[in-house]
Amino acid sequence: MEWTDIKTTVPAVWAETAEAIATGISGGGIYIEDYRDLEAQVEAIAAARPAGLILREKNLPEADYQALASDVLRICKRYELPCILHTFVGAAQALGVKQIHLPLPVLRAQSKEALSGFAQIGVSCHSVAEAFEAQALGATYLTAGHIFLTTCKPGLPGRGLDFLREVTQAVSLPVYAIGGITADRVPELQAAGAAGACLRSSLMLAPDPAAELHPYQEV
């Protein structure tokens, strides 16, 4: 599948950050037509009952991210869906969120005091060495990727199942696979030791998130 111009929509209150949101969803290639329906897409995903939602938009200014997160948290609360914030420790603290997902360089920059209020700290890892380091710095789970070829990182080959297996065997934390995930590959991911998998653009762009998610819930 190749990215061309894909039309999507976001609510008017997010208009100022629409370009950054589009980049975050697809890595480029999304054309913003109007600003009303991204909130509805997030709600449709929440209604489909995934295990949780990570709100990743690290290119936004923190104040804009906090405003976006506030809206998304309200949706997740209605569906009793865990919502993990990403990158912005201060925004998570201001919103009273106890779950945070961090790039490894951001984790390195945090003091133990800054992270002491979080019950869950996820970290993105791209090597076994990074996985070791994240665990030592206090991570409670990891994402490892990208495993397969993905439209979010066009032209970059996936690191593969052997990489995933090496990470899961190297640490004692739950490891979630990310990148190019499809339902038919879940058994392979589980065999490599993954605790689960993360979906990104396949859900954000799905006309029916419940139908998109259902095969994963049946595995």
214 C-beta neighbours (distance < 10 Å), count: 12
Contacting residues for 185 by C-beta, under 8 A, at least 6 apart: 148
Classify the phi-psi angles of 138: left when phi > 0, otherwise alpha if psi is within -120 to 50, otherwise beta: left
Tell me how far apart the alpha carbons of residues 92 and 90 are, in angstroms, rounded to a whole number. Answer: 5
Identify which of 75, 48, 58, 52 has the alpha carbon closest to the alpha carbon of residue 20: 58
Q: Catalytic one among 86, 101, 126, 146?
A: 146
Q: Is 146 a catalytic residue?
A: yes
105 C-beta neighbours (distance < 10 Å), count: 8
**In Å, what is the CA distance from 50 to each residue of 39, 79, 173, 180, 209?**
16, 10, 21, 17, 10
φ, ψ of residue 184 to 5 degrees: the values are: -70, -15
Tell me how far apart the alpha carbons of residues 204 and 9 are, in angstroms, rounded to a whole number. Answer: 11
**Radius of gyration (C-alpha) of the chain in whole angstroms:** 17
Catalytic residue numbers? 146
